[in-house]
C-alpha cells in the first residue's frame, strides 16, 4: 500500500497520486467531503501547489502537524512504548511533509497522519525482523473476562462490579497490558478500538488480507481480556484500588 516509505518514494513516484495515501481514507465516510479526495481534477490542482515552494501549503502542514502532535504521540506510545514514541512521531512527520501534496482534503489530515504513523511503525517492525509469533490461544480462546470478574468478585459490595474492574485500570496500566500483546495483535486492536479505523482500513494499512485482520482482532481481543486479568492479579491492582 502506497503510504510513503522511508525514502518518500511514493510521493516522488506519484506526484499527483491522489490514489495512494488517500485510499486508506476513502471508506472513512464521515471525514470525506464530496469527491475531493479521489477526484483527479482536485489532484492536479493541488499538485500545482507544492508544500516545498508554497508558503501557504507549508503553513497548512505546520498547522495540521502541530495540532495532531498529542494524538500522534498517544498512538506512538501505544505502538512503541514511551522510549521510542518520540522518534516514531518524528519519522512520521518527515514522511507526512514529503507526501503532503498528496493530501487533498484538509479535514482528512488527522486520519492520514495516523495511517502514516502506523506504516512507519510497520516498516520498523519489518526491519527488526520480529518473529511474527502467532500465539496459540486455545486456552485463551475460552477465557471470559466477564466471567472471571463475576466469579472472583473482587468488589464484593459493588453493584457495578465489571465497571469497577475496568476503572481500576489507569492509563499506564492499559499501556502495560497492551505492551504484553505481540505486535501483530496489538496494532489492529489499537487502530480498531482506540482510533476507530474500520477493518478494511486496517487491512490496507497493514497490507494484510481482511480475513487475517479479523482473525488477529479476534485473538487480540481475547488476549487483551486475558492479559487484563493476569495483570490485575500480578500487580495486586484490585487489592490496592478497591473502593
Binding site for other proteins (CB under 8 A): 52, 58, 61-62, 65-66, 69-71, 73-75, 77, 85-86, 89-90, 93-94, 97, 141-142, 144-147, 149-150, 162-163, 166, 169, 171, 174, 189, 193-196, 199, 214, 217-218, 221, 225
CB of 199 to other proteins, least distance (A): 7
- Closest separation between CB of residue 130 and other proteins, Å? 23
Judged by CB, which is closer to other proteins: 90, or 133?
90
Question: Which CB, 18 or 51, lies closer to other proteins?
Answer: 51
Residue among 128 and 147 whose Cβ is closer to other proteins: 147
Task: In angstroms, give the least distance from the CB of 146 to other proteins.
Answer: 4
Q: How far is C-alpha 232 from the geometric centre of its chain's CA atoms?
A: 25
In 3D space, the residue among 99, 90, 88, 96 whose CA is nearest the CA of residue 19 turns out to be 99
Q: What letter does residue 108 receive in the DSSP assignment? A: G
Residues in CB range of 141: below 8 A, 6 or more apart: 222
Identify the CA nearest to 18 among candidates 105, 122, 91: 105
Distance in angstroms (rounded) separating the CA atoms of residues 173 and 170? 5
Specify the residue, 19 or 225, whose C-beta has the smaller distance to other proteins.
225
Helix axes 55-80, 82-98, angle to 10 degrees: 150
- Least separation in angstroms between residue 129's CB and other proteins is 28
Amino acid at each position: 500500500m502506497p503510504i510513503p516509505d522511508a525514502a518518500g518514494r511514493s510521493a516522488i513516484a506519484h506526484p499527483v497520486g491522489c490514489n495512494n495515501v488517500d485510499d486508506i481514507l476513502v471508506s472513512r465516510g464521515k471525514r470525506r467531503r464530496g469527491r475531493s479526495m479521489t477526484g483527479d481534477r482536485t489532484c492536479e490542482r493541488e499538485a500545482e501547489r507544492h508544500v516545498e515552494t508554497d508558503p501557504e501549503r507549508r503553513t497548512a502542514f505546520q498547522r495540521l502537524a502541530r495540532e495532531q502532535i498529542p494524538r500522534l504521540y498517544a498512538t506512538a506510545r501505544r505502538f512503541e512504548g514511551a522510549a521510542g514514541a518520540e522518534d516514531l512521531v518524528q519519522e512520521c512527520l518527515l514522511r507526512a511533509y514529503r507526501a503532503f501534496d498528496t493530501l487533498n482534503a484538509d479535514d482528512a489530515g488527522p486520519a492520514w497522519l495516523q495511517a502514516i504513523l502506523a506504516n512507519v511503525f510497520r516498516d520498523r517492525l519489518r526491519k527488526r525482523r520480529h518473529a511474527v509469533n502467532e500465539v496459540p490461544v486455545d486456552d485463551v480462546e475460552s477465557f471470559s473476562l466477564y466471567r472471571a470478574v463475576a466469579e472472583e468478585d473482587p468488589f464484593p459490595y459493588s453493584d457495578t462490579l465489571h465497571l469497577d474492574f475496568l476503572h481500576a485500570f489507569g492509563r499506564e496500566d492499559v499501556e502495560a497490558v497492551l505492551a504484553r500483546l505481540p505486535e501483530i495483535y496489538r496494532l489492529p486492536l489499537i487502530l480498531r478500538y482506540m482510533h476507530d479505523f474500520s477493518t478494511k482500513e486496517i487491512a490496507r494499512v497493514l497490507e494484510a488480507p481482511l480475513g487475517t485482520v479479523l482473525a488477529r482482532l479476534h485473538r487480540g481481543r481475547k488476549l487483551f481480556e486475558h492479559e487484563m486479568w493476569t495483570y490485575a492479579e500480578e500487580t495486586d491492582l484490585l487489592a490496592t484500588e478497591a473502593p
